[in-house]
Structure 1
């Protein structure tokens, strides 16, 4: 792979349009960022659970604030890579003009990396999958192909993000968000179909990156950007190199920010968080003096968080530069976080262990996961059969009137219809999903005022 081809300002659906940024205030990649941040799917992230239940009297991060922070870290990673490259190769701007835009590309990709995640955090993904593996959805297995069934039984937010950005929803722009090819390529962490993914031994195959409905979309993106095909595989590709920076930005943020939220909620003490962060950000005498001048534990945690994130940004950027050749050849088989110095890797693993034991299994987190299973399964139990049934009952017709027209499809295949219902349900916020579930189950009634 080469940077000149990997960095393309062509827009999905508008490939033939002439690009001339010379006199524009914003580059094509900055436009990507702006299109995302003003979009409805992005705004809905403010009411989608990151880890802890929403809303609450104590501020905790939601999907929107998390995405903004990841985008900030991603921009820094991209800028460091470009600045260091320019020092070594002063003529790089003339040879690869868009390399200076790497920070903007990574930032836009980071902004959209959680766009496809359903309500209730990762439990929402599991709940949708379980409807088909363990619930009423099992009845549809014989009506779809094995490849399509692999999609349905392993709902994946990463793949759903690509669909949201490129699918022609009814009444919307037929080209989706019309983002640049490079931004689209940079969000696909696992560039393969579901049936080829879920290989824990191969880093870029741990999950999958596109549904069957979007396979032609991603293949076109891969061809345009010159992504390497996976040798020995029926389908699938090596990652776009910028995926590693997007992944690193996400890894940095959620690992560190979850600790900060846990402290605010009283799940972890200041001492427990400090013991985890100090070894990473550098347990220097100067830092200890600064911490001692701060009057409350929240301020001290904020300082430790900032120092830790800065340390990890610099380390991950350097790892990307060091392993750039292997990444471009498709031979780098780990995350940047796993390629850091031993003390940093050990420090992050200690954080991960505490997070699993104390944070992700906290009572409030488990409660939202259980509720998410009930709500998401309950919605699918109602909408999927109603949409697939050929002879619809009056109830089916009334129920489907609740599904906005943008989520309806003209295609008659069972897979396309199921996918449309999943578009509707996965796009819901936590609050809307709960309210709709309660109303259609007769638990509550609409206001008559």
Structure 2
């Protein structure tokens, strides 16, 4: 892959060249478009770890996304400075800030497709589809192709995010928000379709195939992005590419933030003691903390900042060390897995899983998420696909952009409209609608 092509300012869906404004670059415009978008604003009421928390300090998806974007910008600029210098790109108009701004925007959008109730929300939609589809198949209806079925069987917030950015937001323009192709490619950490056969994968176990990044409905749009920036195609007969190099930095920024700040949030919520929190963070921060009247909360904040800064510098060094292998598509690992703190980060993960993610307060909300989203999925899918007295009433509950009847629309796209609606809900709205459908609340 070639850095100049990887950083082309071309926008998805636009044929004409954009007039460059040096006071506001195309990649900075990407960030601005995201900030002003409705899906981004809704992240304020979506679970990061603690759903429907009454503690206003605790991070939501919105705050997490802002923090990840800040870390990503630092990673991008550090890497960009070294690469611009290495290849003498200043004469070509490429700047270190371009690297930073692309990662900045991609990080801001990285959770934009996540449904309510965090990752359990994704599982709830998968389970809801499986339950509904098995019932349908039982009566002899085969409504979807295997590839389409896989999109829902393993429903992905990442793929939903790409769909929001390139189709759902700012319709009916081709390319949706018409972000630049580098931002969209860096956003797509898993540049593959949902269904890849074992012979196609051929035992490949790189990080970028852990999940998938786009639905069948947006496969052609991603192919256009990949072609524009020059991603390496990994298979001739499958929608599967190597990562955009900057996607590794987007992933690292996310990993750094949730590893470190989950510990801080857990301390604020009382799930992890101060002494344990201090111990976990200080292995990375490596600072002799002098407690001059500071509160425990302030000490934790300081250690969190120091730990994040240490990991930013390490991740940047790891990227630059492997830059040539990244460009050739041979490197496909998460950067922090090569960190000197890799084992300790795993220890942090174990501690937060045990103390937080398996705590009854958190688990009970996740269980509720299954009930809420599972019911909403079944009700709305039955309403858009089948005629019944109740279904007709439920159909009227769909906002106009999700219930506009199209006689030529196939089953796959009808179900996608339902998942568009459900995954776009906030935690509070999904809960309220579930209560109305269940007769617990009457509006």
* Superposition TM-score, scaled by structure 1 size: 0.92
Map Cα deviations across residues 170-196 of structure 1 (whole Å, 9 max, x no partner).
965453111011110011111111112
Q: Distance in 2 between matches of 1:98 and 1:224?
A: 20
Map Cα deviations across residues 199-221 of structure 1 (whole Å, 9 max, x no partner).
89331111111111111111111
Q: 1:325 to 1:229 in 2, by over 3 A?
A: same
Greater displacement, 27-36 / 352-361: 352-361
Q: Find the counterpart in structure 2 of residue 434 from structure 1.
A: 431
Q: 1:204 to 1:17 in 2, by over 3 A?
A: same
Q: Could you tell me how far 1:368 is from its partner in structure 2?
A: 0.9
Q: 1:326 to 1:140 in 2, by over 3 A?
A: farther
Out of 243, 252, 255, the residue aligned to residue 251 of structure 1 is 255
- Any residues of structure 2 matched to 1:290-305 within 5 Å, and which? 292-305=291-304
SS state at 1:254 partner: helix
Q: Find the counterpart in structure 2 of residue 136 from structure 1.
A: 132
- Any residues of structure 2 matched to 1:169-248 within 5 Å, and which? 173-196=173-196, 201-231=205-235, 234-248=238-252
Q: Find the counterpart in structure 1 of residue 11 from structure 2.
A: 11
Q: Distance in 1 between matches of 2:180 and 2:170?
A: 22
Q: Distance in 1 between matches of 2:432 and 2:302?
A: 39
Kept after mapping to 2: 8 A contact 1:3/1:99: no
Out of 365, 368, 390, the residue aligned to residue 365 of structure 2 is 368
- Is it true that 1:59 corresponds to 2:39 in the alignment? no
Q: Find the counterpart in structure 1 of residue 162 from structure 2.
A: 162
Q: Could you tell me how far 1:11 is from its partner in structure 2?
A: 1.2
Q: Could you tell me how far 1:110 is from its partner in structure 2?
A: 0.3
Question: Once superposed, which parts of structure 1, at least 4 consecutive aligned residues long, lie more than 4 Å away?
Answer: 168-174, 197-200
Kept after mapping to 2: 8 A contact 1:3/1:96: no
* Superposition TM-score, scaled by structure 2 size: 0.93
Q: Could you tell me how far 1:138 is from its partner in structure 2?
A: 2.1
Out of 400, 405, 421, the residue aligned to residue 418 of structure 2 is 421
Greater displacement, 36-45 / 397-406: 397-406
SS state at 2:176 partner: coil
Q: 1:27 to 1:132 in 2, by over 3 A?
A: same
Out of 15, 27, 30, the residue aligned to residue 28 of structure 2 is 30
Kept after mapping to 1: 8 A contact 2:159/2:212: yes
Considering only aligned residues, what root-mean-square deviation do their CA atoms show, in Å?
Answer: 1.9
Q: Distance in 1 between matches of 2:80 and 2:166?
A: 28
Q: Distance in 2 between matches of 1:354 and 1:372?
A: 24
Kept after mapping to 1: 8 A contact 2:395/2:403: no
Kept after mapping to 2: 8 A contact 1:168/1:175: no
Kept after mapping to 1: 8 A contact 2:115/2:424: yes
Map Cα deviations across residues 3-26 of structure 1 (whole Å, 9 max, x no partner).
111112111111x222232x4531
- Any residues of structure 2 matched to 1:106-121 within 5 Å, and which? 106-121=103-118
SS state at 2:289 partner: helix
Q: Find the counterpart in structure 2 of residue 288 from structure 1.
A: 289
Gaps of 5+ in 1: none
Q: Give the aligned length.
A: 433
Q: Distance in 2 between matches of 1:140 and 1:217?
A: 31
SS state at 1:195 partner: coil
- Is it true that 1:85 corresponds to 2:80 in the alignment? no
Q: Distance in 1 between matches of 2:339 and 2:264?
A: 23
Q: Could you tell me how far 1:60 is from its partner in structure 2?
A: 0.8
